Amino acid sequence: MNTNGTIIRMSDIRKVYDTGKVKVEALKGIDLEIHKGEMVAIVGPSGSGKSTLMNLVGCLDTPTSGEYELGGQAVSGVSRDTLAEIRNRRVGFVFQNFNLLPHISAQENVEMPLLFGGVRPAERRERAKAMLERVGLGDRVDHKPTELSGGQMQRVAIARALAMNPDIVLAVEPTGNLDSTAGSDIMSIFTDLWKQGSTMVIITHDPALARRASRVVEIRDGRITADHPSEA
Amino acid sequence: MITLKDVFKQLIRDVRNEKLRTFLTVFGIVWGTVAISLMLAFGTGLHRQIIKSTAGLGDRIVIVWPGLTSIPFEGLGKGRRIRITEDDIVSVRSDVAGLKAISSEYSTNMKVDYGTKTMSVDVSGVSPEFGSMRNLIPQSGGRFINPIDMDKQRRVAFLGEKLTRDIFGESQAVGKTVLINQSPFLVIGTLVKKDQDSSYSGPDAGKMWIPSTTYRALTGEKYVNNFVFQADAATNTKRIIERTRAAFGKRLRFDAKDKEALSMWDTTEQFVFLDIFMLAFNSFLGIIGVLTLVVGGIGVSNIMNVVVEERTREIGIKMALGAKQRWILTQFLLETLLVTFLGGVIGFGISIAVCAVFPKLGFTEYVGDPVVSPLVSVLTAVALGIVGLIAGYFPARDAARLDPVVAMKL
Ligand SMILES: Nc1ncnc2c1ncn2[C@@H]1O[C@H](COP(=O)(O)OP(=O)(O)O)[C@@H](O)[C@H]1O
Ligand SMILES: [Mg+2]
């Protein structure tokens, strides 16, 4: 399934958190390539730097040093607005705590990235609805997040992540706040997406989820310590 | 493209979702607008009412009585009586630049008969200008003495409103004929009811005026009792007083500095005092207004601050999804503008309503009727809006400058 185009290319990425007195080096030189169509699980103990890596991959944060290309586009040193555009076009996020906007409907939540991406209203509505149907929420478009279960909220988040047809779907502990049934639902959706050709990066503690990946990258103390195809 | 409609849809939704917060912000602006608008409205109303009752005597006029000289002049001793004739008035009128109007006033007590009624009335002989200077406004259907009455020495009379009632009761006065010292006079007008808080020979309500030419023919009087003049601008009054005194001094041979030869009552002094009083009063209102604005502004800006804090996570999520800083800021700015506009309109409406109801409460006579200035309301709302905008803008900008991860965690 590998190597028909590099989506992510990181070389010697470092991230230092400077909290005034203490400097924490969270990433100590990461070299990582992810190719189109891969489903990569990033695993590692707590505090190893998974979230930090995820934030950098998703252009939510910038590295202290190192080179990063996303979809062939250099990310280092670009303006905030360009970063916003890159996030909008190339990355779909799925967070552990969903991060939906609470006051608006599922449909409107999914429309959000389309709105920022400058998609016209009619097309926005259509695409958002199609995405919600794709994750099995065609009958919940007008529900607000508070009116949905955890699993349903995460499916809205997945629909939102897919709305702009990104280069990569980036998920952080996507099953972390879900019970096992809802969790395995979400895993199935991920597997389906992968089979349909999406490139996925999933940061997780969950061995069950990691097993579904095509490749597992292990991080320990800010370094990649193992990188191998999934056992499954 | 992100359309204006998108922006507004977001806006309306946010405003709807945060009812309490929106209510508080709008309330702050409404309160500030109402407080300041009404305060200044009552100030203006009071000012007008004071002018109205002060101007009952006349509109910034000077009243002059000839007296005795108090300074020897060119060999003439002091204590000499100064007498002024109509010719003197005519001559001074053309000599003194800046004199807008001048009228002699002859007056005495006369016997007035109508039907079976006989009464003793203060009758004055005056010229047409006297009417406008002294605010002798005719009720509809009547008029004051005009130049033709003067030329033809017509026997016509203008009556104070109380005198009119005493003579005619409720029936029509204009067109009736009364006898003044046994001569028939046609009533041509009656005075409107007016507020008058000062006078120099009894209130106008009880008086009667006839053309000064007629008066002189009737009585053979050669010398004026007093005269009244008005400068072309209230601020010139002092100068015109000096010039007028000098002109008479030259003509009637007394010292231009002799204040007793012609004693003058400058009613504009009252207005000067009034102007100072109103300035102080308005400054007081202004200070209170500024304080209100400051307090209101602090309130509004606090709310805006809380708004931004509350919504930092939301801002973070939106930025993660690709919102640019400009979008976030535009939304905050528009929201503030909308809230300000709403608050301003409501505040203005309430102020107008209060001003509409106030006259029915019966305090008009004492404090006048408040008059709302739309400009003040708009400026107040705008000022509060700007405070809110600044208060909302900077925190929003700071939030939009955070890395999305940081903002999302907050
Ligand atoms: N914002 C931050 N400021 C300072 N230190 C941080 C910050 N975020 C993470 N760290 C530190 O960086 C290291 C890696 O954290 P993180 O990436 O969250 O690990 P993981 O997600 O694998 O638990 C930890 O030692 C953590 O304490
Ligand atoms: Mg973490």
Residues A38, A199: contact at Cβ < 8 Å?
A: yes
Give A98-120 pLDDT, tens digit per residue. Answer: 999 988 899 999 999 999 999 99
The environment of the single-atom ion ligand 2, i.e. residues with CB closer than 5 A, is A 51
Residue B27 to residues B339, B347, B387, Cα–Cα distance (Å):
9, 9, 15
Mean pLDDT of chain B: 85
Domains of chain A as residue ranges with CATH: 36-62+78-229 (3.40.50.300)
Tell me how far CA of residue B81 lies from CA of B61, B64, B65, B127, B260, in angstroms. 24, 14, 11, 25, 10
Report whether pLDDT(A20) > 90: no
* B329 vs A118: CA distance, rounded Å: 17
All residues of chain B having their beta carbon less than 8 Å from the beta carbon of residue A158 are none
pLDDT digits (tens, 9 = 90+) for A38-69: 999 999 999 999 999 999 999 998 899 999 99
pLDDT of residue B188: 96
Taking the C-alpha atoms of residue B80 and residue B99, their distance in angstroms, rounded to an integer, is: 27
Distance, CA A47 to ligand 2 centroid (Å)?
Answer: 6
B394 in Cβ contact with B305 (< 8 Å): no
Query: How many other CB atoms sit within 10 Å of the CB of residue B168?
Result: 19
Compute the distance between CA of residue B231 and CA of residue B219 in angstroms, rounded to an integer. 30
pLDDT category at B384 given cuts 50, 70, 90 is confident
Interface test with A, best of B16, B321, B409 (most A CBs within 10 A): B321
**Kind and range of the H or E run holding A200:** strand A200-203
HSE (side-chain half, CA atoms, 13 Å) at A165: 5
Nearest CA distance, B346 vs chain A (angstrom) = 27
Residue nearest to atom 4 of ligand 1 (CA): A17
Average pLDDT over residues B182-199: 85
- Give the closest residue to B249 by CA, choosing from B60, B61, B103, B70: B70
The pLDDT assigned to B2 comes to 59
Please, is B301 exposed, middle or buried when counting C-beta atoms within 10 Å of its C-beta (0-12, 13-18, 19+)? Answer: buried
Nearest Cα neighbor of B86 from B103, B65, B66 is B103
- Identify which of B347, B410, B406 has the alpha carbon closest to the alpha carbon of residue B379: B347
| Percent of chain B residues past pLDDT 90, beyond the cut | 36
Residue A175, CA distances (Å) to A51, A84, A133, A148 in order:
15, 26, 20, 16
What residue's CA is closest to ligand 1, atom 20? A47
Q: Determine the distance in angstroms separating the CA of A56 from the nearest CA of chain B, rounded to an integer.
A: 10
User: What is each CA distance from B144 to A224, B21, B201, B340, in whole angstroms?
Assistant: 106, 63, 20, 53
pLDDT of residue A2: 38
Cβ separation A84–B324 shorter than 8 A: yes
User: What percentage of chain B exceeds 70 in pLDDT?
Assistant: 96
- Beta strand B156-159 with B183-190 is parallel
Q: How many contacts, defined by CB atoms under 8 Å, are there between A and B? A: 66
Please tell me which of A9-13, A118-122, B9-13, B194-198 the model is most confident about, judged by mean pLDDT.
A9-13
Q: Is the pLDDT assigned to residue B37 strictly greater than 60?
A: yes
Distance CA A52, CA A28 (A): 11
Q: Is the ipTM reported for this complex over the cut 0.90?
A: yes
Distance B32 CA to ligand 1 centre (A): 48
The predicted pLDDT at position B106 comes to 96
Burial class (CB in 10 A: 0-12, 13-18, 19+), B83: exposed
pLDDT digits (tens, 9 = 90+) for B235-265: 888 899 999 999 999 999 898 888 889 999 8
How far is residue A104's CA from residue B324's CA, in Å, rounded to a whole number?
20
What's phi and psi for B406, nearest 5 deg?
A: -65, -50
Helix (H) or strand (E) holding A23: strand A22-35
For the record, the structure tokens of A44 come out as 């590692």
Are the beta carbons of A103 and B403 separated by less than 8 Å?
no
In 3D, which of A216, A166, A161, A228 has the Cα closest to residue A189?
A161
**B72 pLDDT more than 60:** yes
